[in-house]
A = this chain, B = another copy of it.
């Protein structure tokens, strides 16, 4: 189906909201007029959306927002900010005929088929099984995950909560890090290590374990310091982050039978792209004992297009229509 008139699409996280217009045509999805608004500059998401809509004409009558958080009763409460996204309120205030909220990794999964070729790079080759599920996974606000399950009538997208499975440390150092995190969060899920806050946790734990002077860094400061090489512990934290992500992604492939491929998303990996591609990710991904061949055959790609979820938001609206 096609959406001849432009629709409003958004990708809303804890710290900012990205808005754009999308048209769904026979030639694919086109996304234009992108603008990003910071959560700290707007009291509500409605205000941010209204500010965006002032700049475009004609005003779209349909909209889909991808949100980084669980959708409960058509609303999302963002853990990292004061924003709350309420579907009914937005639809009424902005006079949309049709308004949809989807999980951000659901949107990412729904959008992959519509991304331009330049949006994805290869992390490792593989020998995918065409009709097997594909896994979308990536660290950002949390460790988002979704499954793409091929069916006889097209792909079915399933949002999962794989970021919340129990964390299984492999080395003694990883066990130490788990103990450090467990002081604050007795149940250590993989998301406690593999997310923006997770990277902060790994860095803090390494500082404590190595008895180093504790430099309090945010996630984007740690990734920047790792890229520049400014702080050795930041470099080490990012290396561990990549290695642990490899193991966790490999486990997720086993859990879901995702022999069709893995697509990495989220905001963190593109920022550490070169480090990531040279990291232990690939080795740890396939290191599964008797099941190593099974996992090693799975190709892995990385989404490097910043607004990938916007394509998926448009596709989700198209699907629903």
Interface residues, chain A, with chain B CB atoms under 8 Å away: 70, 132-133, 145, 147, 149, 151-153, 156, 158-162, 164-170, 175, 185, 187, 189, 247, 251-252, 254-257, 287-291, 294
Contacts and interface: CB of A to CB of B under 8 A. Distances in A.
A256 B169 CA distance: 21
Contacts of A147: 256-257
Contacts of A247: 166
A252 B255 contact: yes
A162 B288 contact: no
A170 B166 contact: yes
Contacts of A164: 254, 288-291
Contacts of A149: 149, 151, 156, 158
Please report whether the interface of chain A is mostly helix, strand, loop or mixed according to DSSP: mixed
B133 A158 contact: yes
B165 A167 contact: no
Contacts of A252: 255
Given A152-B153, A166-B168, A161 B257 contact: yes
Nearest to A175: B175
A161 B289 contact: no
A255 B156 contact: no
A149 B256 CA distance: 11
A56 B149 CA distance: 41
A247 to B, nearest CB: 7
Contacts of A185: 289
Contact of A255 (B165, B289, B291): B165
